[in-house]
A and B are shown apart, each in its own frame.
Chain A
Amino acid sequence: MGDPHLGFIVAAYAVTVAVIAVLIGWILLDGRRLKRQLARLEARGYGGRRARAGGGK
């Protein structure tokens, strides 16, 4: 693929991969952070099945 514009092609694919990787990482980290937050609240007796059945704390 000896092309005078090879740098532009590589840059286009690299930017695409990098931006999508950041988006995937952000969504996964956000999900993990939210799950931890929910688990902390449930551990304190808020939310979850037990709290719903017993009406909170």
Chain B
Amino acid sequence: MANVSTASQSPIQSLANPTRFVALADRLLPWLIALTVALFAVGLYLSFFEAPADYQQGQTVRIMFVHVPAAWIGMFAYVVMASAALGNLVWKHPLADVAAKAAAPIGAVFTLICLVTGSLWGRPMWGAWWVWDARLTSMLVLFLMYLGLIALWHTIEDPIRAGRIASVLILVGVINIPIIKFSVDWWYTLHQPASVFRFDGPTIHVTMLIPLLVMAAAFMALFAVLHLLSMKNEILRRRIRAIGMRAAYEGRRGGA
């Protein structure tokens, strides 16, 4: 009977089983780690030895190869969280809340890298560490949203209740993602406009575009590795909590 029900499950339903998910993650992780290392090796080589210096910014343009991918992953992690929040609220997928919670610290770290490297790029180019410009401010708001969500998950002890509240907040906050993306078009900002994802194609020269895309792929692979590891940790944390609660219940019943 159990075999029949397992065989009739779709791949997504099958992955809803945390044990099966962990087994799949364990099989995927060595390949993903190898891919991440290879992409970083190629990306860093291209960024430092193949990409030319910019005619205006000189060598400082090389900060772009970590700043821009970090910004993309900072936003991508939030989109992952929003999809997971939808999965949690609408379909009640058992791993959706785990995926959202696991992505938050990683998204926060990449957003922080984007803010710090942006500041280190802004000082020599703009003459200021920080300006309250629409792009910078909306990115800072994203970072604060990550911190708020992490705090929320730590404040509410019941993970299911915390997951539901966090999911609603995540979906409300997703409005910030298009604001970040289009802030440079909607408002007059010091930050340069988009030069890669544009309706009329990239305006950045191919000698800089290829290293940038390879570094972005490396950051994406790194995100996938860290997200899978964090999800495994979160599954383990919930298993320990469930066992602990059962142990406490049995202890009380035995003592009564």
Q: Are A24 and B63 in contact (CB under 8 A)?
A: no
Q: A22's closest neighbor in chain B, by CB?
A: B109
> Which one of B53, B63, B247 contacts A12 once the chains associate, using CB atoms below 8 Å?
B63
Q: Are B59 and A12 in contact (CB under 8 A)?
A: no
What count of chain B residues pass the 8 Å CB interface test? 36
Contact with A along B99-123 (1 / 0, CB 8 A): 0000001100100110011001101
Q: Are A15 and B116 in contact (CB under 8 A)?
A: yes
What count of chain A residues pass the 8 Å CB interface test? 31
> Which one of B62, B117, B124, B232 contacts A15 once the chains associate, using CB atoms below 8 Å?
B117
The answer to whether the Cβ of B58 comes within 8 Å of any Cβ in the partner chain is: yes
Q: Which residues of A contact B48 (CB under 8 A)?
A: 1
Q: Are A46 and B246 in contact (CB under 8 A)?
A: yes
Q: Which residues of A contact B244 (CB under 8 A)?
A: 41, 46
A17 to chain B, nearest CB (A): 9
Q: Which residues of A contact B62 (CB under 8 A)?
A: 9
The answer to whether the Cβ of B222 comes within 8 Å of any Cβ in the partner chain is: yes
What separation, in Å, do the CA atoms of A38 and B230 have in the docked complex? 16
Q: Which residues of A contact B63 (CB under 8 A)?
A: 8-9, 12
Q: Which residues of B contact A46 (CB under 8 A)?
A: 243-244, 246-247
Q: Which residues of A contact B243 (CB under 8 A)?
A: 38, 41, 46-47
Known: A3-B60, A19-B109, A47-B243. A12 touches B229 (CB 8 A): no
Q: Which residues of B contact A31 (CB under 8 A)?
A: 229, 232-233, 236
What separation, in Å, do the CA atoms of A1 and B232 have in the docked complex? 42
Q: Which residues of A contact B124 (CB under 8 A)?
A: 4-5, 8
Nearest first, the 6 closest Cβ-Cβ pairs linking A and B are: A3-B59, A47-B243, A5-B124, A34-B236, A12-B117, A12-B63
Q: List 14 A-B contacts (CB under 8 A).
A: A3-B58, A4-B58, A8-B60, A9-B62, A9-B63, A12-B120, A16-B113, A20-B113, A20-B222, A34-B237, A35-B236, A37-B240, A47-B240, A57-B250
